[in-house]
Chain A
Amino acid sequence: MTGMTPFFEFLLFALAIIVFVYLYRVVKGPTVFDRVLGLNGIATKAIIMLVAVGTVYQRVEMFVDISTGYALLNMVSALAVAKYLEGRGRA
């Protein structure tokens, strides 16, 4: 814990608020593509939050691995959904 901890708390709080704004679009979005785009944005914020939490706890070398895995998992799932939905329904 260093002197920057209040600033990181502010950063995490603001990112949580931004995640809830994206969650509005995920719940309400008219098409399924809106929902997947919103989830994509939430995943980006989650990666930034993971690195920030690792900085606060001074264990960045562990949290960076978790965030890398999260980014890869998000990419594979988004590409699979895009491949599945291409050329078929607009649900």
Chain B
Amino acid sequence: MQLAAMALMTIGLFFLLVGAIGVVRFPDVFSRSHAVGLTDSVGALFTLSGLALYQGFNANMVRVLMVLALLYVLNPVMTHAMLRAALRSGLKPWTKGDRA
């Protein structure tokens, strides 16, 4: 049980690290939102499910899983709202032509 929890948390940490690299390396806000929005959801899914598995099968596991469900609903909503605001305020998405 503890070994499975540790493996899940390590996988989640890998995804979070990839997201951090993408946040620094990508050229504009629309491509960076992939790094923030997608890998954060997957990394939080793996890390928090590992933490929930570590609690054992009791009420604390349900509490951690509720935080996970909340985060899994709210994170795409925030990313979508932010990018819609960015697009409507006139930012142009980065294309292959303008290399930075």
Contacts and interface: CB of A to CB of B under 8 A. Distances in A.
Contacts of B24: 21, 24-25
Contact of B60 (A11, A25, A34, A60): A60
A30 B36 CA distance: 16
B59 A61 contact: yes
Interface in A38-91: 38, 40-41, 44-45, 47-48, 51-52, 55, 60-61, 64, 67-68, 71-72, 74-75, 78-79, 81-83, 85-90
B54 A55 contact: yes
A78 B71 contact: no
Contacts of B75: 40, 44
B44 A44 contact: yes
A86 B85 contact: yes
A87 B91 CA distance: 10
A76 to B, nearest CB: 10
Contact of A55 (B19, B44, B55, B88): B55
Interface string B77-100: 111011111101111000000000
Nearest to B13: A14
Interface string A16-48: 001001101100010101101110110011011
Contacts of A86: 84-85, 88-89
B16 A25 contact: no
Interface of B: 2, 6, 9, 13, 16-17, 19-21, 23-24, 29, 32-33, 36, 40, 44, 47-48, 51, 54-55, 59-60, 63-64, 66-67, 70-71, 74-75, 77-79, 81-86, 88-91
By Cβ-Cβ distance, the 8 closest A-B pairs, closest first, are A82-B81, A86-B85, A21-B20, A33-B86, A82-B85, A64-B63, A78-B78, A60-B60
